[in-house]
């Protein structure tokens, strides 16, 4: 399965006007399903948290647009996530909260192709981050 960059870009454009609301919904979904993740973000205020989600989404799309940036960016992102205490098994939880928030915000525009693109893009980035986490963990 592969992703279509224009669809990822389109989805970001579609949520642009409602970024804060989107981020609030994402964290609400994530924490409702996985309350054990909430303490990880305890020191971060909501405004910063919302900005982080949007940066993460933009980072995913930008790094897939410019694959030469991918390994360096992901390596340092993984190093920071080791410090945050992120664990391999938590990656799918973040992905599911992201996809369900997109589904809610985009409605009929959250097409099968767009879903597949996001799933596949998220898989690529998570796999690299998980590899990076494991490498720096030793
Ligand atoms: C592919 C998946 C993920 C991506 C692309 C991603 C991306 C990001 C980005 C861009 C930031 C902003 C700060 C920085 O750049 O270091 C961030 C912060 C954070 N991420 Fe992730 N993340 C992912 C998965 C996770 C997972 C699975 C956890 C598990 C708990 C997590 C926990 C955190 C925390 C706690 C912060 C905020 C740290 C702080 O400022 O105190 N992330 N993430």
Delimit the domains of the chain by residue range. 5-137
pLDDT band (50, 70, 90) for residue 69? confident
B/e letters for 73-94, b = 16+ CB within 10 Å, e = fewer, are: bbeebbeebbeeebeeebbebb
> Does the pLDDT of residue 136 top 80, yes or no?
no
* CATH superfamily assigned to domain 5-137: Globins (1.10.490.10)
**Counting every residue, how long is the chain?**
138
State whether the beta carbon of 86 lies less than 6 angstroms from ligand 1: yes
pTM: 0.93
Query: What is the CA(75)–ligand 1 centre distance, in A?
Result: 13
Mean pLDDT of 79-103: 96
Closest C-alpha to ligand 1, atom 13: 52
Proportion of the chain above pLDDT 90, given as a percent: 73
Whether the CB-CB separation of 93 and 29 falls below 8 Å is answered with no
Say which range, 25-29, 41-45, 106-110, 134-138, has the weakest mean pLDDT.
134-138
């Amino acid at each position: 399965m592969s992703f279509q960059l224009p669809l990822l870009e389109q989805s970001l454009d579609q949520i642009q006007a409602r970024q804060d609301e989107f981020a609030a919904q994402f964290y609400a979904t994530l924490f409702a399903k996985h309350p054990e993740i909430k303490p990880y973000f305890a020191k971060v205020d909501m405004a910063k948290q919302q900005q982080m989600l949007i940066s993460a989404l933009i980072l995913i799309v930008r790094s897939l647009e410019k694959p030469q940036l991918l390994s360096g960016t992901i390596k340092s992102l993984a190093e920071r996530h080791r410090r945050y205490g992120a664990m391999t098994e938590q990656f799918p939880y973040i992905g599911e909260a992201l996809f369900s928030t997109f589904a809610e915000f985009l409605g009929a525009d959250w097409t099968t192709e767009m879903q597949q693109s996001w799933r596949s893009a998220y898989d690529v980035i998570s796999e690299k981050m998980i590899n990076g986490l494991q490498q720096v963990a030793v």
